[in-house]
């Protein structure tokens, strides 16, 4: 049977971050709570020039060749930080990256789950059109606000994935288990800049959904945890994925448990210093596992748990492809993280609390400070129309 899956992938996070020890001290909290209790060392912050479109464009620009841009016939932009009620954020990316015009572009939303819905749609599409390619962009800015319970679990970034009928990295299996339940664990009304969250309930809902989809997957397909080389999870903060591993601990023998722990550690190297990037977080963890972990054998099966508050979850499986390490951009990603600069807390608070302000004519000029030469940035608004440029 034809394999379909991730042929290329990369991520982008803006060049500024907040140090979690400094944040803890400013909030009168023991730094160990953030470093170990929550499990975050740094938090990526998007200055105003890096909106979801700019971040996604920068992520995709690292992987797309001229040939890919001719073959892509669908762009799926997954986000819960939309910049327009009508227009899909992907239309700007499609233009900025010169993707051929006879392509379908659409935006998907379901909290942190929507990139996974994008993958499932792409799977069906590539089954029917095996020579085409689908670009999936998962781009978000997680904002709870200054001095809120969710503050240490913010972040910003984008993951770009190119799916094809001949994947170099991970083939996605067709069997999966999905679960939906209307709950209010985390949400962001259209009038609110910041997310609302019932933190403890959201943790319970995440674990409850994991149990629902895992039980369903086992029942339908006769699986057990030891079938998988590693299990990766949606990572809103790195402790949450550990709780997920613990939830499955009863079903693991010692060897499986040690293996999962080891791979979980390599799967959170990036998340630990970037924070929650919502719909891209599971895929940032996948990328971290692929790039920072020991090489795993071709054919190894990786269990993936996607969770989006509100809530939708899915358990699905990827199969490692031979030579996958050669298809990754490990050094580029490490360099991007090393070259970031630390935001002073006052600067972070200013950025977080002041959304772009538009004058009466519908214009806004944006600051370009804290940007990298060569990046695509959000450059301003002209008569209510957003525009972007490459620095
Ligand atoms: P909190 O009340 O600040 O923290 O909320 P806490 O008091 O529960 O402490 C957290 C952990 O730190 C605990 O460990 C403490 O023991 C430990 P745990 O019991 O959890 O293992 N701790 C310490 N450890 C070491 N030294 C110390 C110390 N003090 C305490 N001195 C919470 C934390 C995550 C709930 C909050 O930050 C929050 O509401 N965050 C946002 C919600 C969230 O991320 N939920 C995750 C599940 S829902 C989800 O993943 C979906 C989401 O991504 C959105 C989407 O789908 O779009 C969020």
**pLDDT 10s digits, 213-246:** 999 999 999 999 999 999 999 999 999 999 999 9
Reported as a pLDDT band with limits 50, 70 and 90, residue 44 is very high
One fold for both 4-169+328-390 and 172-324?
yes
**Ligand 1 atom nearest to CA at 242:** 21
Q: Is 151 in the pocket of ligand 1 (CB under 6 A)?
A: no
Q: Is 246 in the pocket of ligand 1 (CB under 6 A)?
A: no
For residue 377, is the peptide bond before it cis, meaning its omega torsion is within 30 degrees of 0?
no
CA nearest ligand 1 atom 50, residue: 236
Strand pairing class (5-12; 170-172): antiparallel
Lowest-confidence region among 137-141, 179-183, 312-316, 360-364: 360-364
Report domain extents, the chain.
4-169+328-390, 172-324
pLDDT of residue 369: 85
Task: Name the token pair of 251.
Answer: 């079903």
Task: Inform me whether the pLDDT recorded for 1 exceeds 80.
Answer: no
pLDDT of residue 299: 98
Q: Is 308 in the pocket of ligand 1 (CB under 6 A)?
A: yes
Task: Inform me whether the pLDDT recorded for 355 exceeds 80.
Answer: no
pLDDT (tens digit per residue) in 94-106: 999 999 999 999 9
pLDDT (tens digit per residue) in 251-290: 999 999 999 999 999 999 999 999 999 999 999 999 999 9
Q: Are 314 and 116 in contact, with CB atoms under 8 Å apart?
A: yes
Q: Are 182 and 50 in contact, with CB atoms under 8 Å apart?
A: no
* 295 carries an active-site annotation: no
pLDDT of residue 171: 98
Q: Is 37 in the pocket of ligand 1 (CB under 6 A)?
A: yes
Q: What architecture does CATH give domain 172-324?
A: 3-Layer(aba) Sandwich (3.40)
pLDDT of residue 111: 98
Catalytic residue among 94, 125, 234, 333: 234
Reported as a pLDDT band with limits 50, 70 and 90, residue 365 is confident
CA nearest ligand 1 atom 19, residue: 37
DSSP 81-97: S-S-SSS-HHHHHHHHT
CA-based radius of gyration for the chain = 20
pLDDT (tens digit per residue) in 14-32: 999 999 999 999 999 999 9
Q: Is 50 in the pocket of ligand 1 (CB under 6 A)?
A: no
Task: Name the token pair of 145.
Answer: 């606000």
- CATH number given to 4-169+328-390: 3.40.47.10
pLDDT of residue 354: 79
* 234 carries an active-site annotation: yes
């Amino acid at each position: 049977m034809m394999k379909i899956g991730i042929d290329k992938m990369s991520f982008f996070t803006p060049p500024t971050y907040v140090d979690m020890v400094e944040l803890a001290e400013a909030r009168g909290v023991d730094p160990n709570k953030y470093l170990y209790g929550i499990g975050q060392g740094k938090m990526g912050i998007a200055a105003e020039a890096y909106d979801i479109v700019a971040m996604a464009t920068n992520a995709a620009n690292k992987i797309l060749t001229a040939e890919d841009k001719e073959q892509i016939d669908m762009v799926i932009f997954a986000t819960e930080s939309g910049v327009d009620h009508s227009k899909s954020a992907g239309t700007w990316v499609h233009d900025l990256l010169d993707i051929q015009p006879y392509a379908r572009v659409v935006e998907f939303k379901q909290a942190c789950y929507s990139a996974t819905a994008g993958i499932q749609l792409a799977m069906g599409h590539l089954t029917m059109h095996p020579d085409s390619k689908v670009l999936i962009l998962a781009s978000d800015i997680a904002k709870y606000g200054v001095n809120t319970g969710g503050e240490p679990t913010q972040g910003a970034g984008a993951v770009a994935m190119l799916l094809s009928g001949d994947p170099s990295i991970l083939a996605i299996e067709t069997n999966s288990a999905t679960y939906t339940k209307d709950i209010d664990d985390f949400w962001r009304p259209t009038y609110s800049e910041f997310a609302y969250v019932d933190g403890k309930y959201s943790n319970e809902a995440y674990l409850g959904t994991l149990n629902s989809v895992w039980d369903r997957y086992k029942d339908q397909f006769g699986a057990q945890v030891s079938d998988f080389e590693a299990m990766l999870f949606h990572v809103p903060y790195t402790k949450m994925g550990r709780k997920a591993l613990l939830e499955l601990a009863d079903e693991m023998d010692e060897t499986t448990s040690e293996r999962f722990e080891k791979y979980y550690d390599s799967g959170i190297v990036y998340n630990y210093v970037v924070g929650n990037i919502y719909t891209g977080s599971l895929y940032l963890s996948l990328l971290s596992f692929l790039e920072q972990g020991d090489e795993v054998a071709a054919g190894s099966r990786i269990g993936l748990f996607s969770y989006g508050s509100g809530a939708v979850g899915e358990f699905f499986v990827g199969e490692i492809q031979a030579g996958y390490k050669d298809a990754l951009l490990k050094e580029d990603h490490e360099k991007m993280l090393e070259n970031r600069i630390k935001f002073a807390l006052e600067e972070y608070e200013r950025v977080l609390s002041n959304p772009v302000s538009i004058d009466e004519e519908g214009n806004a000029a944006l600051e370009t400070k804290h940007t990298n030469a060569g990046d695509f940035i959000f450059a301003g608004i002209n008569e209510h129309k957003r525009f972007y440029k490459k620095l």
